[in-house]
Amino acid sequence: MMDTRPPLAAARDAISAARRIVIFTGAGMSAESGVPTFRDALTGLWARFSAEALATPEAFARDPELVWGWYEWRRARVRAAQPNAGHRAIAEFAARRAAEGSGGVTVVTQNVDDLHERAGGPAAVHLHGSLFAPRCGACGAPGAFATVEPVEPEGGRRLAPPRCEQCGGALRPGVVWFGEGLPEAAWSAASQAMDSCDLVLCVGTSALVYPAAALPEQALRAGATLLQVNPGHTAFDALARFNLKGSAATVLPALLCGNH
Ligand code: BJW
Ligand code: ZN
C-alpha cells in the first residue's frame, strides 16, 4: 500500500521501529558550525588549490609548509566553532535511547573535527582520523603541536611542521589522505556496526569518497533501511528510502527530537 504520510513523519516512524541505528556523517554535518565542506572552494593562500589536491601524501612531500599551514588554519577554525543544533540533536537522541534502553546508536563520521564529541554525544568512530592527533611522518610517534590554541590569520599562512621529539622527522596531520588506508580499528568498528544495524542515517556527505561511501551500501545489503539528510543531491539519493532535503541543523532536531 502506498505510504501517504509526510516523509518526515514516516522517517520518524522508521527510526522508532529500529533497534540498532548508525548515524553516518560527512562535512555537511559541520557546515552550519562554520566549518567549510570539503568540496567548497578554498580561499586565501590556498585559493589556487582544491582540498583534494592538498589532502595527499604527495602534496605534503612537495610542500610541507603549505599543507601544514592549511591544517593549522583548519584546526583553528574548528577550535573556534561550536557544535550546531544537528550535533546536539544526535547527542540528545543517543542519550535518550540509552536511557530508555530502546537500542544503540553508533556515530560513524568522515569528519576530522571533534564537534560530535563536544556536543556531548557518544564518541564517534573517526574513519578519516583527526585534526588533533599529529604524528611523526617518519617514525609514526605521536607528536605535539607548537601551540595548543592556534591563532591563524584569516587568509592562512605557510608554516613549517614541528619536529618529532623521538627522531627529528617532520610531524604530519593525523588524518587519512587519498591513497592511504583507513585506521584498522575504526574501519572494523564501523563495518561491524553497519552489518548489525537496522537503519543507517546518512547526513551531509556527498558519498563520493571510498571506501567510506561503501559502508552504508554494506548496511543496505545486510537488510538495513537507509535515510538521508542533505540539501543537495548525492550518490545515495537512489538508495535511500527517505531523502529529507534540508540542512542538518534544521532537519535533525525535528527528525530525532520532535522539535519542529
Ligand atoms: C549539507 C549541508 C548542511 C552542505 N547540512 N548537508 C575510484 C573508485 C573508488 C575509489 C577510488 C577511485 N579513485 C580513487 C579512489 C580512492 C579514493 C577515492 O575515494 N577517491 C574518490 C574521490 C573517487 N580513496 C582513497 O584514496 C582512500 N584510501 C584508499 O582507497 O586506500 C587504498 C589503500 C588500501 C590499503 C592500503 C593503502 C591504500 C582514502 C580516502 C581518504 C579521504 N580523506 C579526506 C581528507 C581527510 C583529511 C582532511 O579533512 O583534510 O576525507 S578527502 C575528504 O572527502 C575528507 C572527507 O571526509 C571525505 C568525504 O567528503 P564529505 O564528507 O562527503 O564532504 P563533501 O564536501 O564531499 O560533501 C558535503 C556534503 O554536505 C554535500 O553533499 C552537501 O550537499 C552537503 N551539505 N551543507 C547537511 N548544512
Ligand atoms: Zn619520529
Q: What digits encode the pLDDT tens for the residues 194-247?
A: 999 999 999 999 999 999 999 999 999 999 999 999 999 999 999 999 999 999
Which residue among the candidates 126, 128, 233, 260 is catalytic per the annotation? 128
Q: Measured between alpha carbons, how far apart are the two ends of the chain, in Å? A: 28
Q: What digits encode the pLDDT tens for the residues 8-38?
A: 999 999 999 999 999 999 999 999 999 999 9
128 a catalytic residue? yes
pTM of the model as a whole: 0.97
Question: What gap in Å lies between CA 150 and CA 146, rounded to an integer?
Answer: 8
Task: Give the type of residue at 79.
Answer: R
* Ligand 1 contact via 204 beta carbon (within 6 Å): yes
Q: What digits encode the pLDDT tens for the residues 54-67?
A: 999 999 999 999 99
- Chain mean pLDDT for the chain: 96
* Ligand 1 contact via 205 beta carbon (within 6 Å): yes
Q: Which residue has the cell 542519550?
A: 95
* Of 33, 37, 52, best ligand 1 pocket probe by most atoms within 8 Å of the beta carbon: 37
Residue 109 C-alpha cell reads as 563520521
Compute how many other C-beta atoms are within 10 angstroms of the C-beta atom of residue 224. 22
Q: Is 215 helix (H, G, I), strand (E, B) or coil?
A: helix
